[in-house]
Structures are given as C-alpha cells and as structure tokens.
Amino acid sequence: MPGSLENKTIVIVGAGPGFGRTLALRAADQGATVVVAARTASRLDGIVDEVRAAGGTAIAAAVDATEPDSVRALRETVAQHTDAVHGLVYSAFAVPSMKPLAQTDHDQISRGIDLSVLGALRTTQEFTLLLEAGAAAGAGEADATAAPASSSAPASSSVVMMASAVIHHSRERYAGYKIAKTALVALGHSLATELGPRGIRVNTVAPGYIYGETLKGYFEHLAGKYGGTVEDVYAHTAEKIDLRRLPSEREIVDPVLFLLSDAASAVTGQTLTVDCGEFHT
C-alpha cells in the first residue's frame, strides 16, 4: 500500500526497538509523519534517525502512559507540530508476572491494567480532539478532490490498540496478562461506539508470537533451560500452528497499517488476530 498514509500524522505510543521501530519505518515509507513515544526516551533517537535517513519525517517524545500529566505533555508536544492527528497506535507493554493467579500479587495485576488499559484510555482521551480534527481534515480533502460523493468513502481517523492472542486461551501463568489484554479489547469496543459519530475508528490487533529479537532471546533461554537449540524450540512451537511458522514483525505491522489507512474506512470495533492460524476466531 505505497503512499496510503500520505500527509497523515501517526502517533505511536510504546514505540520500542521491535514492533514500534518496524511500524514507524513502514508508516513513514508510506508518507506519514510519525511521532514515536515511549517511557525510555533513549530508545527513540535511533528510530527517528532511521526514519530520517530513509527520507521520512519523525518526532520523538518521552511519555509515561501511567501518568496523566505525561500523556497530556505528549499531546501538547504533538500539537506544537500539527493541528490534526490521523492515527494513534497504543502498544505500551510491560512484561507480565507469568505466575498462577494464586501466586500473583494484586499490585502486579493492577499495574498491568493501569498500563495496558487505563494508559490506552488516557491517551485516547487526550488525543480525541486532534483525531477528530484529523477526520475532519480528511473529509475536507475528499470533498475537494473527489468525483461524485458516492465514489469515495467517508474520511475518518483511526485508533489501533495492540492486544494479544492471549485473549483466546487460558494457559497457566498467563492469567494476569490475559485479564489486562481482554479488558483492552472491551475498551476498544466501547470507544468505537462512543467515538464513531466523531469520525474516529477504534480497533484492536491481537498478535500471537512475534518472531523478532525479543522472542529469539526467550527461545534461547528455553533452549538453555530444557536442552536443545533455538531451532528446536521454534519447531516445537510452530508445529501447533496452521502455517507451521510464527509471524514476523512486518506481518504484524502490515495489518496495523491497513487499519490506519482509508482502505479500512468501514472497519471499527473489531479485533484482528494475527497469529499464522494458532487460534481460530
């Protein structure tokens, strides 16, 4: 979809070295101005440098999505550069406790919900007016350039929240993570209903395993703990998946780009599972 995000501003909250980096590069390649935001500001400079080296436009901003003042400061920073935002991706993530519920500290669950769910709500609330302006700007551009009105889809802006395929299973030690990500999906449903009349679409993407450097490191840990090689761990994991492989970072990013684009102008309130067929939804 070359150029599908031309002249759009996309804000990525929780932009890390894996998924966030790939999303920023791909969105910029399609013409978007990307704002990368994360708690660890030092990680952002490298992403911005890569985007600019490839000829794109990028802005870095530190944010702690668990702090309302920090989220407000992010919105103010973005507003200094533009009066309209066309896409918001919320992918802030913290490693879950990975313990059975009987052994999980309530504070750990609370922190997970605060970051994954309330952080997404804080961010969407702060950016609603800018997203609404993005939808209105798109409608103005369509009116000025379209042929008959029936030939073009109504303009909208887009929020994409990153959930997880953990919402589809109840395996041991994933309970705290599942609670937070399932609540995030419910939040997306409600926001889609409330913000739809303002021209804002809200969807969630639920990735399965994402085969990048982080997962490779985890597979190395498992290989060392239980014996064998990383390839053995990969094969054991993939044998239960329809396509017999794990999705790459780009294969998670491309569906997100679709949901951000006008090609998804009629898609809202949905959860798209991207997992090479591990779960059928």
Distance, CA of 95 to CA of 68 (rounded, Å): 22
Give the distance, in angstroms, between the CA of residue 202 and the centroid of all CA atoms in the same chain: 11
Distance, CA of 160 to CA of 17 (rounded, Å): 19
Stretches in the chain below the pLDDT threshold 70 = 1-3, 139-153
pLDDT of residue 100: 85
Is position 146 within any domain? no
Residues 51 and 101 in one domain: yes
Residues 237 and 135 in one domain: no
Q: What is the DSSP letter of 155?
A: P
Residues 191 and 63 in one domain: yes
pLDDT of residue 149: 47
Residues 264 and 167 in one domain: yes
Residues 163 and 242 in one domain: no
Residues 25 and 119 in one domain: yes
Residues 17 and 112 in one domain: yes
Alpha-helical segments (H) within 117-196: 119-145, 175-195
Residue 170: both structure tokens together: 């109840």
Distance, CA of 131 to CA of 270 (rounded, Å): 19
Please list the helix, strand and coil fractions of the chain in percent, rounded to the nearest 5, in that order.
55, 15, 30
Residues 215 and 130 in one domain: no
Distance, CA of 104 to CA of 97 (rounded, Å): 7
Q: How far is CA 148 from CA 180, 199, 272, in A?
A: 45, 20, 32
Residues 114 and 32 in one domain: yes
pLDDT of residue 98: 79
Which residues lie closer than 8 Å to 256 by C-beta, 6 or more apart?
Answer: 23, 89, 160, 162, 205
Q: What is the DSSP letter of 208?
A: -
Is position 259 within any domain? yes
pLDDT of residue 43: 85
Residues 134 and 54 in one domain: yes
* Confidence (pTM): 0.92
Task: State how many domains the chain has.
Answer: 2
pLDDT of residue 1: 58
Provide the domain limits for residue 190. 9-139+156-210+247-274
